[in-house]
């Protein structure tokens, strides 16, 4: 028996007998007084009980103690009486009885001479609402509609349904809302969710599909989730997925689950961007916040897969396997549902140095939450270009840091060589300790190192725009725009390169203090269009040749 309802009672009753001045009054039998006390105590008590309750086993009238024995006409299978050391009886009812039981509860009061009197009460236990594991949402609702008024189902339950009515709008003060949902096709059995709370409850609207969990009761004829019910999900069905994840992570290498499985989770990583050629994408999801059991969705396909982003909540169906230690949905998994993340997508820092710094601070297996674009010099060809797959793996040097570009694609991929300067775009991850652009990264541009090409690109910059990489140009000083500053150790000059004038703003380096018109210098820095003037930005420096 799971619950016990205690009735707080007085265990001693003292009756004072007195005589008025004059004629003596008739003496009242203490045994009858004891019976009257029992009757008055329990006559107004609830007739219906769905859980164990207690009654007294002894009372005191004046200076006399009377025992109270209790009995019922119900079978012990349905109702048992158990006397405790505290002289209280527990009426132990069978809460799992599928049939209603009406019974008579009789109290027999006995005095010290063995004389007895009795008083009886009618009690009833409604038929139990039996919820078996595996029952559908509709079956749970059908069972709830059998509840009598004032009765609450034992335990907490979860239902998934469509909001058909906003009964009480969201309260900023109390942080809750009351809505009514329809479960499945049960339009005639609505379920109110009273004072529903939880993330997203303030944005609920008619038509939303939601998952709610809480205690279900019959309140004055209304079947409802009681106050304190929680909103678990909006737009998809929230299920306990822990058993699936645990089973998946017990798979041995190379083994798969025998049946297709469905999981819902939040994308925390884009492993391979969407491929227009193959019409799929590879992502990793976290289910129910369980970061210890990530689930890769390998070559995921389906409507909306091309627009997936980190933070989106998705539902995926497929076969789960252990592929060389990675627990994943195998190729062929399908996207069933998408709830777009309303939060703005993270944006990569403008300064490449900040991106590189963040990349090298990643924990193993983690990824940067935004798409990155970096310029670097090819330091090594790790895997030659594949004509079959149209990709190459190289390592580039960016700010003196080595970053691998895994399965790099793009028009210039086939002709890459050590020393080439390229711009790469993709998702950066820490793969087993190595910082890399993941599979699916692409070449945005292969940068020509010819001065005329660099100058041409610089003069095509829009006002306020800058090149995303550093370049070197050699030219003749044609003007000293700001003389050398001993305080700041810089000078501003203009040089001519390929018949174009380029300003070198706050130029530093060896010999900067001795520059004169006509001098030939090599300058390194980032080219920008500042209010219509093409210039090397502040921080550019003289490259000492030789």
The number of helix segments (H) and strand segments (E) in the chain equals 5, 36
Each residue's pLDDT tens digit, 401-425:
999 999 999 989 999 999 999 999 9
Residue spans of beta strands (DSSP E) within 419-526: 421-426, 428-431, 434-437, 442-447, 471-485, 490-497, 500-507, 520-525
Beta-carbon contacts of residue 543 (< 8 Å; ≥ 6 apart): 472, 509, 522, 523, 524
Mean pLDDT of 178-182: 98
> Of 400, 417, 447, which marks where a domain is finished?
447
Q: What pLDDT, on the 0 to 100 scale, is given for residue 210? A: 94
Q: Is residue 130 part of a domain?
A: no
Contact 405, 393 (CB under 8 A): yes
The mean pLDDT of the chain is 90
Q: Where does a domain end: 419, 447, 475? A: 447
Residue 203 and residue 276 in one domain: no
State whether 324 and 365 are in the same domain. no
Record the tokens describing residue 545, joined without a space. 């040749």
pLDDT per residue as tens digits for the range 424-442:
999 899 988 999 998 879 9
pLDDT, residue 99, reads 87
Give pLDDT, residue 15.
Answer: 34
Print the domain residue range for 185.
Answer: 137-234
101, 77 Cβ separation under 8 angstroms: no
Q: pLDDT tens digits for 232-262?
A: 988 888 888 999 999 999 999 999 999 999 9
The DSSP call for residue 411 is T
The pLDDT, as a whole number, for residue 10 is 34
Q: What is the pLDDT of residue 546?
A: 62
- Give the neighbor-by-neighbor strand order of the sheet with 295-300: 320-323, 326-329, 295-300, 280-286, 261-275, 313-318, 334-339
Q: Is residue 345 part of a domain?
A: no
Q: Are residues 34 and 95 in the same domain?
A: yes
Same domain, 195 and 255: no
CB atoms under 10 Å from CB of 18, counted, come to: 5
Proportion of the chain above pLDDT 90, given as a percent: 72
Distance CA 504, CA 527 (A): 9
For 529, other C-beta atoms within 10 Å of its C-beta total 18
Phi and psi based region of residue 433 (left: phi greater than 0; alpha: psi -120 to 50; beta: remaining):
left
CB 15 within 8 A of CB 61: yes
**Residue 295, in any domain of the structure:** yes
Chain centre distance of CA 201: 15
Domain stop point among 339, 362, 384 = 339
Three-state DSSP at 32 gives helix
The pLDDT tens digits of the residues spanning 271-303 come to 888 988 899 999 999 999 898 899 999 999 999
Look at residue 221 and tell me if it is in a domain.
yes
| Residue 22 scores a pLDDT above 70 | no
439 and 357 within one domain: yes
In a domain, 147, yes or no: yes
Q: Which residues contact 463 (CB under 8 A, 6 or more apart)?
A: 529, 531, 532
**Percent of residues, the chain, with pLDDT higher than 70:** 94
Helix (H) or strand (E) segment spanning residue 452? helix 451-458
pLDDT-derived band of residue 25, with 50, 70 and 90 as boundaries? low
Give pLDDT tens digits for 302-332: 999 999 998 999 999 999 999 999 999 999 9
77 Cβ contact list (under 8 Å, min separation 6): 94
Contact call for residues 306 and 274 (beta carbons, < 8 A): yes
Does 265 lie in the same domain as 155?
Answer: no
In a domain, 346, yes or no: no
108 shares a domain with 58: yes
Q: Is residue 390, in this structure, part of any structural domain at all?
A: yes
pLDDT of residue 16: 35
Please report the pLDDT score of residue 425 as a whole number: 93
Q: Are residues 247 and 212 in the same domain?
A: no
Q: What is the mean pLDDT of residues 512-534?
A: 96
Q: What is the pTM of this model?
A: 0.50
Residues 17, 99 share a domain: yes
Position 266 pLDDT exceeds 70: yes
Q: Is pLDDT above 90 for 154?
A: no
Q: Which of 168, 173, 175, 172 is nearest to 193 (CA)?
A: 168
Mean pLDDT of the 202-221 span = 94
Rounded Cα distance, 432 and 440, in Å: 18
Residue 344's pLDDT is: 77
The span from the CA of 249 to the CA of 260, in Å, is 16
> What's the number of domains the chain is made of?
5
Measure the CA–CA gap between 179 and 198, rounded to whole angstroms. 13
Q: Residue 5 pLDDT > 50, yes or no?
A: no
Question: Do residues 523 and 465 share a domain?
Answer: yes
CATH of the domain at 359: 2.40.50.140
The reported pLDDT for the residue numbered 26 is 58
- The reply to whether 457 falls in a domain is yes
The Cα 156–Cα 455 span in angstroms is 71
Verify that 295 and 194 share a domain, yes or no: no
Is the C-alpha dihedral spanning 238, 240, 244, 246 positive or negative?
positive
User: Among all chains, which residue has been given the structure tokens 């292969």?
Assistant: 446
Do 226 and 262 lie in one domain? The reply is: no
């Amino acid at each position: 028996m799971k619950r016990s309802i205690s009735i707080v009672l007085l265990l001693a009753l003292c009756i004072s007998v007195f005589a008025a001045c004059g004629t003596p009054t008739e003496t009242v039998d203490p045994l009858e007084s004891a019976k009257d006390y029992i009757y008055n105590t329990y006559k107004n008590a609830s007739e219906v009980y769905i859980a164990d309750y207690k009654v007294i086993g002894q009372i005191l009238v004046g200076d006399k103690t009377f025992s109270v024995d209790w009995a019922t006409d119900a079978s012990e299978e349905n109702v048992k009486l158990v006397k405790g050391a505290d002289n209280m009886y527990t009426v132990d009812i069978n809460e799992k009885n599928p049939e209603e039981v009406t019974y008579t509860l009789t109290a027999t009061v006995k005095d010290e001479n063995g004389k007895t009197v009795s008083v009886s009460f009618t009690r009833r236990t409604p038929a139990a609402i039996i919820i078996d594991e595996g029952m559908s949402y509709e079956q749970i609702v059908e069972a709830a509609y059998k509840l009598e008024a004032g009765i609450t189902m034992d335990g907490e339950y979860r239902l998934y349904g469509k909001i058909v009515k906003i009964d009480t709008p969201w309260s900023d003060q109390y942080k809750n809302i009351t809505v009514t949902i329809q479960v499945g096709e049960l339009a005639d059995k609505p379920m109110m969710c009273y004072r529903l709370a939880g993330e997203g409850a303030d944005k609920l609207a008619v038509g939303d599909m939601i998952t709610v969990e809480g205690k279900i009761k019959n309140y004055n004829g209304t079947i409802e989730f009681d106050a304190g019910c929680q909103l678990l999900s909006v737009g998809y069905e929230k299920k306990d997925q822990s058993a699936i994840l645990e089973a998946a992570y017990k798979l041995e290498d190379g083994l798969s689950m025998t049946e297709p499985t469905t999981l819902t989770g939040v994308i925390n990583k884009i492993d391979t961007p969407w491929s227009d050629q193959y019409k799929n994408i590879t992502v990793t999801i976290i289910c129910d916040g369980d970061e210890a059991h990530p689930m890769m969705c390998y070559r995921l396909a389906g409507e909306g897969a091309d627009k997936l982003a980190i933070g989106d909540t998705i539902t995926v169906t497929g076969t789960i396997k252990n592929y060389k230690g990675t627990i994943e949905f195998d190729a062929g998994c399908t996207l069933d549902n998408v709830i777009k993340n309303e939060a703005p997508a993270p944006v990569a820092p403008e300064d490449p140095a900040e991106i590189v710094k963040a990349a090298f601070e990643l924990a193993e297996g983690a990824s940067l939450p935004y798409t990155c674009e970096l310029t670097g010099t090819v330091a090594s060809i790790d895997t030659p270009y594949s004509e079959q797959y149209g990709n190459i793996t190289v390592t580039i040097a960016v700010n003196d840091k080595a970053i691998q570009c895994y399965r790099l694609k793009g028009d210039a991929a086939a002709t890459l060589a050590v020393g080439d300067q390229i711009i790469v775009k993709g998702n950066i991850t820490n793969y087993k300790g190595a910082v890399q652009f993941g599979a699916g990264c692409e070449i945005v541009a292969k940068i020509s190192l010819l001065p005329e090409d660099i100058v041409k690109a610089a003069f095509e910059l829009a006002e306020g725009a800058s090149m995303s990489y550093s370049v070197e140009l050699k030219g003749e000083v044609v003007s000293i725009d700001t003389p050398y500053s001993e305080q700041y150790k810089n000078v501003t000059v203009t040089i001519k390169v390929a018949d174009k004038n380029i300003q070198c703003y706050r130029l530093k380096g060896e010999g900067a203090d001795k520059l004169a018109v006509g001098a030939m210098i090599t300058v390194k820095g980032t080219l920008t269009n500042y209010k219509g003037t093409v210039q090397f930005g502040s921080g550019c420096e003289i490259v000492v040749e030789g």
